[in-house]
Amino acid sequence: MKEQGVKRNQIIRELIRSAHGDLESYIPTTTEAAKQEPEFLAHLIAWNYKNGQIRDSKIALPIASLEAWANAPAHERSNGLGEYQENSLAHLAMLDPRNLVKAIRFGKSHHVAGKKIRRLVERYLREREANWSWWERTAIQHRASMKTLYAMFHIKPTAMADLSLMKGKPPSGTALDVIKRLPTMNASEAAVAVSERNIPFLVVMGTIGNRLKSEDALAIALIERMSPTELVTNTKLLERIGVRDRPALRAAFELGLEKAATSKKTTFKATRAAEEVASPSLKAKLQNLQEKQIETLGGVDGNWLVLGDRSGSMEPAITVSREISGTLARMVKGEIHLVFFHDSPQYFDVSGKTYDEINKLTTRIHAGGTTSIGCGLSYIREKGIEVDGIAIVSDGHENCHPSFAAEYQKYVELFGKEPPVYFYKVSSPYYHADATSLEATAKIVHLDLQVFSLPSGVDRESLPQLVKTMRTSKYSLADEILASKLLRLDDVFKTPAA
């Protein structure tokens, strides 16, 4: 069996990746982790909720862990698992209604929808009903999901909730009533209502969206109250109503982007939004926002070497190498050394550079030739460059010398330390009959590779999150996770349950 620290790192990298909606893919690793490392899995759920940016994992891990622990032998269930189960339930309670519904449906497909889930949902709804402004804000933004939560477990809403949500007759003066009356308001009244009641953008779009194309005051009021996530995810819609061409709207939008630059919640959304908008100027602003947000991720230190495979068929590895280098360069204050290799190395100092700058600097790099991963490390060793961590981007098939494993041993002897090695494994369409596997040679010399499989090349959902987990000590991230506080339901629901 592998040492515990490496085992835990394998659990981390598997459970925080993006599943692209395939929640089932989290089940095998979660089930294994629940058996072998139940305490670590519970803390990982807590750590991931605070630090992770992959929504799928925040939905799937609590449910998958509950299933695994419910099926554990009786003697194991009584051995501290109650605390871990409550932590999973508490993190389900932290989800918004839409994602809670998704989690429950996922749970039902695995028979995780018993009394504990029903009690959780009832408390989730009752706590909000006891605080009308909280309930109403939730109902405005998640109307359909809230109705689903009541219906799923036949939970009877309070009279006020029933009137407002189920019957569509909100009491006069409530925010829901204001939303119903928006179409009858003039531009200034609607702008004030949107601002004072904090009405979400998509709700207004669904009610009076056509007016936003001509009424600046109303559109500006919406933009000014949008959260960073709303602003970025709705950039394409904002482009349609004229945020690019109407000076007042453009100014409000740019101010919103400045505020979003300090948010840690919209990095991947900024990437997707930049790909969707038509305006080159908006695209550039969103790309700049992405760079600034990556800087806020932090968590990685030291000097790093990125070895990018540029041998035949490895064009995807070139792109991933640029992405990893750009992400590291924005995250850390140390030096970032990028070396592309086939049978010889080509070196670039990319410290502090953006992805676009790295892309321009390496624009002449193209795939072709044989493969020696070790030649890149040999170059760094001969130049006397000392690094604290190494990222390899390749399919891992070496067919000429020097090999990475051999050069790594020489590097360790020269500098007297063993930098962790992270292997971003890019799939290759070709069979390498004459090649030696990097993973096989690493085992021979007892080198622990931390492997991130990227079967489809660049995964813009997972890549920054994977880079964020890299550490100069292979055990430090596991220590950080174990230090994350487990939650109880009373931590989430501060008032007594109804």
Using pLDDT thresholds of 50, 70 and 90, give the confidence band for residue 331. Answer: confident
Q: Which residues contact 268 (CB under 8 A, 6 or more apart)?
A: 53, 460, 461, 464
Classify residue 424 by its DSSP letter: E
- Residue 28: asked if its preceding bond is cis (omega within 30°), the reply is no
What is the dihedral sign for C-alpha 192, 198, 201, 204?
negative
Over 50: is that where the pLDDT of 498 sits?
no
pLDDT in tens, 303-329: 999 999 999 889 999 999 999 999 898
Share of residues in the chain with pLDDT > 90 (%): 51
Task: Report the alpha-carbon distance of residue 384 to residue 387 in Å, rounded.
Answer: 10
CATH class, range 301-470? alpha beta
pLDDT score recorded for residue 2: 41
The closest alpha carbon to 481, from 33, 152, 70, 22, belongs to: 33
The model's pLDDT over 439-491, given as tens digits with 9 standing for 90+, comes to 999 999 889 888 888 866 566 667 888 888 888 887 788 888 999 999 999 99
In the chain, domain spans: 4-166, 175-296, 301-470
Indicate the pLDDT class of residue 412, thresholds 50, 70 and 90. Answer: very high
**Are the C-beta atoms of residues 231 and 260 closer than 8 Å to each other?**
yes
Can you spell out the DSSP letters for 121-155? HHHHHHHHHTSHHHHHHHHHHSHHHHHHHHHHTTP
The per-residue pLDDT for range 54-65, each reduced to its tens digit, is 889 999 999 999
Identify whether the C-beta of residue 408 lies closer than 8 Å to the C-beta of residue 377. yes
pLDDT of residue 288: 72
Indicate if the pLDDT at residue 235 is higher than 60. yes
pLDDT at 431 over 70: no
Q: What pLDDT sits at residue 3?
A: 45
Among 121-125, 413-417, 494-498, where is mean pLDDT lowest?
494-498
Which amino acid, one-letter code, is at 105?
A: R
